[in-house]
Amino acid sequence: RGGVLRILRVDASGAVPQPAVFAQADFGAMAAQVAAAAMNADKDQGAVPITIPGAAEAVQNVADASLIARVGQLLLLGAHLAPAELIPVKPPVSDADVQASISGARYFEIIKQMASKTPGFDAKNLDAFAGYIGDMDYQLRIVPEGVLERFTSTTVGPGTKPVDRALLARLPANALLVLGFGTDGKTYWKQLRTPLLTAFAKQAGTTADELEAKVDQQFAGMGLTCTLAQLVEGYTGTTLFAVTPSAPFPAVTLALPRSPALDQVIGLLLDKLQTAAPAEGTATLLPIPNVPVPVQIGLDKTTWLITSDPQLAPGFTTGKPGGWADGPTGSLALSKATPDSVVVGGSDTGNVLRMLTQFAGIGLASRQDLSPQQRQAILQGLAKAASLAAPGYVVAGTKDGHTVVEDRGLFGMGPIAALGLIGSLAQGGGGHEKAALAALKGIVPAELSFQAGAYVDQDGNGSGEFGLLSELGGARATANAPQGTLSLVNETLAAGEAGGYSFTVFLPDGAGAALGEPDGADPRPAAKPAAKEQEQHFVAYAWPTNGAKGQMLAVTEAGTVYAAPSTGEAPNWNALFGGQGWGSAPTWKPYGKGNRPAAGAGKPARPTPAPAPGGKIDP
């Protein structure tokens, strides 16, 4: 019945900035039921009951710094807050179903704090953009057609101009999705040239003028006579994106405003594809390798067209109206737009859902975890939604020196963005943890592929051994794979650090201990006595870098991921096995199964010792 989302502050002292987030939602009579579901789910992840004055019930998860409480009909969520800060607030008075306000100045400071953590980036470079981030107001209303949203900002974005309605009118009446926006390249370049080039130039240790000259030199080296300034300033007009019905896939269309500079760039690309540019008012096939549908490129006096819709190009390039402006979706969108609207878009939502239903049926057929009745229910739900859906639209423009965006559809953009923000922030480092979990899971198939390829076969029996992380990514050569030839994991993961987590793989050394990553990039020394065990075992770990809070994760050749609270240090090679040897049962709990490990569970018996020469680690 209403909600509040507040980002109170950001702690930028650690490796990963931690926003302190408060969220409140009024669920009315459903509050107890919703709270119970949320708390039970969080208890499965290690949350424990706590007492908060005034709250009927509350839980806290120390591992991911989250709080959930219910006060009457209100559900309160907190991330990186003290329990005493989880206090209900009075929503602003509004006739909207949901309203949100954002302080542009505070939001900009948060952006700068987070950006300051990027290595080599000077957050002061962002100061030139402060004037484009104003206070924002968001309102959502539930209407018979779905969700109606309105965003209002106290600033006006640079380099915009009204959308060309005549260009929109060239699209077909049956277009599923349409979005057009107008750009004024000269204004954009005038207002943003200095701050943008200065920011990039500082990163490169040069000046804005020198960087621009370098780009122009690169253009000349490619055979272009235009400059960067001419390319940007010339991008003035309306850009269109559209999706239309076609077979076997929906067709995609992109229209770009022409300029002499863009003509040169596209001409260069056509030369590389050994295709002559079409004459004005015509289109020609664009031979793009490995694209399973025919793509056409065409142009008229003002616009380039790239489309996979074979029916669209002939009429579009001659300026013939296609019917969209007079159809139900186009006429609705244009009726909501003003002559000065810089964004105009529409969605034939019912037919979009019908299209998705066709592809959903294919995808659901492969879901063995769903019963036939469940699959049928999903398809029936989509079909019902399609029959009820009304056309949607989005328009944006300026009014009294403010930017105003209005859209209507089945789902609002605001709730989706807010839920994503709450989900990621309420997890604290959870976003990094989920990414680390995915990366760690990816090591298992990489190891199996490495073993199957026998890239390391120290005993020559034709059965390969498992590999180190650097070997999986090709950063380290093996006897049967020169450096740079393998890419079973990406380069970042192969280097052992990604997304706020560190990664490593240990292998048996044949003497009851483990082999870790040797120094340098040379192949690891052969260890024939270890070959048999290395054919059977490996263990991979991921843990938060720089002592950040979170969970350590581990996986073995069996494929099950395990977790334990981070100790702030790298785990010992046998931490998963409670300090025991290879083949011992894991002592950490499976990730996501039951409660998360209690504080101290699975803690390594001692810090990881430094690897000896050759990467060997003693038990």
| 41 and 87 assigned to the same domain | yes
Reported confidence tier of residue 15, pLDDT bands at 50, 70, 90 = low
| 191 and 295 assigned to the same domain | yes
| 220 and 316 assigned to the same domain | yes
pLDDT more than 90, % of the chain: 49
| 388 and 339 assigned to the same domain | yes
Q: Is the pLDDT of residue 170 over 90?
A: yes
| 83 and 173 assigned to the same domain | no
Higher-confidence residue: 156 or 361?
A: 156
Give me 501's structure tokens.
């987590």
Q: Is residue 226 part of a domain?
A: yes
400, 420, 446: which is the final residue of a domain?
400
Radius of gyration of the chain (CA): 29
Paired residues of 507 in beta bridges: 515
pLDDT digits (tens, 9 = 90+) for 309-321: 999 999 999 999 9
Q: Is residue 121 part of a domain?
A: no
Dist. CA 391–CA 414, nearest whole Å: 19
Q: Is residue 151 part of a domain?
A: no
Q: Is residue 129 part of a domain?
A: no
- Which is nearest to 34 in space by CA: 91, 73, 1? 73
Q: Is the pLDDT of residue 426 over 50?
A: no
What pairing do the DSSP bridges indicate for beta strands 282-285 and 296-299? antiparallel
Please list, in sequence order, all residues whose beta carbon lies within 8 angstroms of the beta carbon of residue 530, skipping any fewer than 6 positions away: 458, 507, 508, 509, 510, 511, 515
400, 420, 448: which is the final residue of a domain?
400
Q: Is residue 612 part of a domain?
A: no
| 507 and 548 assigned to the same domain | yes
Reported confidence tier of residue 236, pLDDT bands at 50, 70, 90 = very high
The per-residue pLDDT for 439 is 86
Dist. CA 313–CA 282, nearest whole Å: 8
Dist. CA 611–CA 516, nearest whole Å: 7
Dist. CA 93–CA 28, nearest whole Å: 18
Q: Is residue 201 part of a domain?
A: yes
Q: Is the pLDDT of residue 420 over 60?
A: no
Place of tokens 């969970």: 551
- Alpha helices, DSSP H only, in 453-501? 469-472, 491-494
Mean per-residue pLDDT over the chain, rounded: 85
Q: Which domain holds residue 10?
A: 4-91
3-class SS of residue 406: strand
The per-residue pLDDT for 608 is 37
Q: Is residue 96 part of a domain?
A: no
| 434 and 395 assigned to the same domain | no
pTM of the predicted model, to two decimals?
A: 0.61
91, 121, 144: which is the final residue of a domain?
91
Place of tokens 């704090």: 113
| 439 and 573 assigned to the same domain | yes
- Alpha helices, DSSP H only, in 238-340? 260-272, 313-317, 328-336
pLDDT digits (tens, 9 = 90+) for 535-576: 999 999 999 887 767 889 999 998 899 999 988 889 999 999
| 365 and 468 assigned to the same domain | no
The per-residue pLDDT for 279 is 96
| 185 and 280 assigned to the same domain | yes
pLDDT digits (tens, 9 = 90+) for 173-209: 999 999 999 999 999 999 889 888 887 887 677 889 9
Q: Is the pLDDT of residue 414 over 60?
A: no
Length reported for the chain: 619
Q: Is residue 144 part of a domain?
A: no
Which of 121-125, 267-271, 334-338, 522-526 is predicted with the least confidence, judged by mean pLDDT?
Answer: 121-125
3-class SS of residue 516: coil
| 435 and 582 assigned to the same domain | yes
Dist. CA 207–CA 198, nearest whole Å: 6
Higher-confidence residue: 236 or 445?
A: 236
The per-residue pLDDT for 487 is 81
Dist. CA 158–CA 163, nearest whole Å: 15
Task: Judge whether 40 and 77 are in contact, CB under 8 Å.
Answer: no
Task: Judge whether 23 and 76 are in contact, CB under 8 Å.
Answer: yes
Task: Judge whether 138 and 36 are in contact, CB under 8 Å.
Answer: no
Give the count of domains, the chain.
3
Report angle CA 142, 144, 150 to the nearest 5 degrees. Answer: 40
Q: Is the pLDDT of residue 405 over 90?
A: yes
Reported confidence tier of residue 617, pLDDT bands at 50, 70, 90 = very low
| 249 and 396 assigned to the same domain | yes
